[in-house]
Chains A and B, each alone.
Chain A
Amino acid sequence: MKLTRNLSIILICISFFPAAVYSQSFVISQVDNSSLLLDQKINLYVSVTDTGGYPVEKLDRENFTIYESVKGGSEEKREIIDFKKGINRDAGIYFCFLLDNSGSMYDAGNGKPTQNDELRKMSYARNALRTLIKDITNPKDRIGFISFNIRIDADIRPTENKQSVLDAIQQVDKPERKDAYTEIYESLYHAVNELDVIKGRKVIILLSDGENYPKKDNPNFTERHGMKGAIENARKVGLSVYTIGLSRQADRSNLEQIASNTGGAYYSAYDPEELENLYTLIRNRILNEYLITYYATMNPAETKSVMALCAYNAKTLTAVQEYFSDTLFGQPQETLNLLVFLAIAVSAAALVILYFLKFEKKKKEASLEVLTVDGRRRTTQALTISDKKRQITISGSDDADLTLMGEKNAPASDLTIENKNGAFTIVKAGSGITVNNKPVKTKVLRSGDLIKVGNTTVVFDGGFKKKSGKKK
C-alpha cells in the first residue's frame, strides 16, 4: 500500500518535472465550530504544499501560529491545544470541471483548422475529462461541470451522478460564429462563486487552450474581473485551480499563472500519463491535512476571523477563514444604554398596577343577574337590589322590576321575591320555575342560587359585607 503510493509519487515526480510550476500554499480548508458550545474548542483543518506541489508532511505545532479577531478588533493570539497530522484522508472532494468551448477549441493542436474531429483540441479535452472522471472512485466525491464561450453554456452543480456529467460533456456543441468568444477569466470567477456556497474541500479543473478572447460589452458578463480578479476570488474562497492546457505553443503562461497562484498545478492534455495520476495527486494534496485545535475567545461577534500563520522553509504563509459565532440572543449593545434599566421600573409598576386592578366585580349589594347560557358575555341584564326595596317582580312583562327579554309571551314566568331585612324569599313562582335545578313554589334564597325561568337563567347574589371577607 505504502509502497505503491510512494511509487506513484515518484512516477508523478518524473513525469511532471518539466511541465509543473508550483508555489507554496497554505489553506484553511475548514473551520469546525461544532464543539464550541461544549468545550470552547475550534478545530482548524489546514493543508500546506511545497514548491514541488506536494503536501508538506513534516510540520509540527511549532510551525503554526493562530490568531483570532472580531470585526474592527485586534488579533488575539491563541494557544494551540491540540495538533494532529494526516487527517481526513478519505473525505470527499468537490470537483468542478470548467471546459473552454470556444471556436478555437475546434482547431487542431497546432492552431490550424481541421475537419478531422480526432485532431481537434476539443477531442483531447473530452478524452482528458473522461480519463479524470473515470479515476474519481471515492464515493464521497462529487463532480460538477461548466462549459463556456461567450457565456456559460452548460452548468451542472456538483453531483454524485457521474453519468450525467459524462453525457453533458458529450453533448457540448461547437458554438455559432457569433458566440465563439472565450471568457476564461469571467467564467472562472463565476465557477468560484458557485463553489463558494459549498462547504467542504473543493477544486476547479480548468481545460482550455489558454486563449482569452473576450467580447467587448458582453451582456453575459457585465462586471469585469480579469485574470487578477479571478485568481483573487479563488484565493479568497480557498480553492485551488488546476489547469490543463490544450495547446502546445500558445498561451500556456496564463494557465500556469492561474494554477501557481491558487495552489494548483498546470498539466498538458497531450500527456495522458500525467492526467492519469492527477486525481491521486489532488487527493494527496488536498486531503493531507493538519488538525489544529485552540480555545476560541469570548469576544462577542456574529462571525469571527481566524488567521493562521505557517512558518516553513524560511517563509511565513498566511491563511484566513471566518466562522459563525453568534449567540442565541445576538450581539450586545456597543455601550450599555442606561435607558434599558428603565424597563425594570416599568415592569415593576405594571406588576403593582395589575395587583391593584380589580378583575372581579365586587358588588356589596344584593343583585339579580340574567345569565346567558352560552356565548361569551355572560351577564346581559342586572338589577341591583337596594335594602329599601321590599318586593321584586321578575317576568316577561315590561312592568316587572326585572324584565326578561327572552320570556315576553311566556304566561307562567311570573316570579316575586320578598325582601325582609336582607332575607330574600321567593313567595310566588310560575310553573316550571326551578331554583338550583329543583322545581319550587316558595324558597328562601341563598346567595348564588340559580333561578331558571323558562329558557332564562337568573342568578341571585346576596352581596357580601366587607367584614365577612376575613378568614375564620
Chain B
Amino acid sequence: MSLGMRIVFFAVIGVFAGVLAWPFVELVLFFQASLLNLLLFSVVTGMTVGIFMAGFFGSSEGIITKSFQKIRMGVLFGVILGIIGGGVGTIAGQAFVLFLGTFFFNSGTLYKYIGLPLSRALGWACLGLFVGSVEGIRTRSFAKIRNGLIGGFLGGIIGGLLFEYLKFLFPESIFSRLVGLSFLGLLIGIFYALVENKMARATLYLLNGKDRGKEFLLTQRKTDIGDSPKTAVNLDGYKDMEPVHTVIERKKDGYVLTDAGGTTKTLVNDDVVKTRALEDGDVIRVGEAQFLFKKK
C-alpha cells in the first residue's frame, strides 16, 4: 500500500470508528440519570468510546494484510487498552469541560460562542490524546504513541468544535455528535498516517509476490520480518520464510540488519549476510520476498 493510500485507508477507518462509537455513546448518554454519579458515568461513556474506536483502529493492520488472526489480536488488545484509555481520557476531559465551562459560565458574555466550544474542544482533545495513543501502546512503538498523541489532540479540538457549533446551527439535528465523533476518528486516522509518513526515516518496499508494492515504515526501534503474525513486517504466502527471519534495528547512524538465525538466510544485494549496515537502494531478500530499502 502506498503512503497516499495508507492515509486514505486510515482516514476511512477513523471515520467508521467514530460512526460505530456514536450509537453506543448516545445510548449511555440517554441513561445518564440511571447512573450513580458523574464519575461512573464518565468512566462508562469513556470506555464505550475507547472500546469501539481503539478496537476499530486495532483491526487496521490486520485488514491491510488480510490476516484474520492479526485482526483478532489487534481488536482484542485495542479493546482492552481502549477501555483504559477511553475511561481515563474521559475523566480528564470531563474535568476540563467542568473547569473551563464553569469559568466561562460564571464570566457571562463569552460563554455560548467561545467559552463552551473552547471547553468542549479541549475536553475532547484530552480524550483524543488517550484514545490516539492506544495504537502506539498496543504496537509498543514510541513513534506511534507520539503520532497518536498529535492526531488525537488535533482531532479532539476539531471534532469538539464541530460538534459544538453544529449544535448551535442545527439544534434539532441528532447528527452533530456523530459528525464530531467521526471527525475525532478521521483526524486521529489521518494524522496518524500523515505524521507517521513524515517521521519514517526509512521504508521497505516489497518488490514481488502477492503483496507487491506494499510499503513498510521503519518507525520502530526494532522491526522484525517474518511470517509470524507477531512480527511488525508480517508476510503471508512467501516461501522459505522463518517465523522471525530478519530484524532491522534503528541505530544512531543508520539502520542495521541482522539475520535472526533460521535455516534460510537473509541476502543483501545477493550476498548472504549475518549483520550488515543498510544503505539506500539495498535489495534485501527474506525467503522468497525481496525488499528495496529506501532512506528518506
Q: Using a CB-CB cutoff of 8 Å, which residues 418-472 of chain A contact chain B?
A: 435-438, 446-450, 459-462, 464, 468-472
SS class, residues of chain A in contact with chain B: loop
Known interface pairs A327-B38, A333-B30. Does A447 touch B288 (Cβ–Cβ under 8 Å)? Answer: yes
Chain B contacts to A: CB under 8 angstroms: 1-5, 9, 12-13, 16-17, 19-20, 22-23, 25-27, 29-30, 32-39, 41-42, 45-46, 56, 59, 63-64, 66, 71, 90-91, 93-95, 97-99, 101-103, 105-109, 116, 120, 123-124, 127, 163-164, 167, 174, 177-178, 205, 207-214, 227, 236-237, 239, 269-270, 281-283, 285, 288-292
Q: Indicate which residue in B12, B26, B91, B103 contacts A340 across the interface (CB closer than 8 Å).
A: B26
Q: Are B177 and A330 in contact (CB under 8 A)?
A: yes
Q: Are B22 and A197 in contact (CB under 8 A)?
A: no
Question: Which chain A residue lies CB-closest to B6?
Answer: A359
Decide yes or no whether A224 CB sits under 8 A from chain B: no
SS class, residues of chain B in contact with chain A: helix
Q: How near does chain B come to A336, taking the closest CB pair, in angstroms?
A: 5
Q: Are A464 and B23 in contact (CB under 8 A)?
A: no
Pick out which of these stretches binds chain B: A7-15, A30-38, A58-66: A30-38
Q: Indicate which residue in A323, A348, A461 contacts B209 across the interface (CB closer than 8 Å).
A: A461
Known interface pairs A298-B32, A299-B33, A324-B98. Does A37 touch B19 (Cβ–Cβ under 8 Å)? Answer: no
Q: Are A300 and B32 in contact (CB under 8 A)?
A: yes
Interface flags for A362-374 (1: CB within 8 Å of B; 0: not) read 1100000001000
Q: Which of B41, B97, B174, B208 has the most CB of A within 10 A?
A: B208
A460 to B283 Cα, complex, angstroms? 13
**Range of interface residues on A (Cβ < 8 Å):** 35 or more
Additional A-B contact list (12), CB under 8 Å, known A446-B285, A469-B210? A36-B98, A40-B39, A328-B46, A328-B90, A333-B29, A351-B56, A351-B59, A354-B63, A361-B212, A449-B207, A462-B208, A472-B239
Decide yes or no whether A167 CB sits under 8 A from chain B: no
Q: How near does chain B come to A376, taking the closest CB pair, in angstroms?
A: 6
Residues of B within 8 A of A34 (CB): 98-99, 102
Which 7 pairs between the two chains have the least Cβ-Cβ distance?
A448-B290, A448-B208, A469-B237, A332-B29, A347-B20, A197-B108, A448-B207
A460 to B209 Cα, complex, angstroms? 10
Q: Using a CB-CB cutoff of 8 Å, which residues 23-69 of chain A contact chain B?
A: 33-34, 36-40
A17 to B183 Cα, complex, angstroms? 67
Chain A contacts to B: CB under 8 angstroms: 33-34, 36-40, 196-199, 295-300, 303, 322-333, 336-337, 339-341, 343-344, 346-348, 350-351, 354-355, 359-363, 371, 376-379, 435-438, 446-450, 459-462, 464, 468-472
Q: Indicate which residue in B116, B239, B281 contacts A326 across the interface (CB closer than 8 Å).
A: B116
Q: Are B29 and A331 in contact (CB under 8 A)?
A: yes
Residues of A within 8 A of B64 (CB): 359
Q: Are A376 and B2 in contact (CB under 8 A)?
A: yes
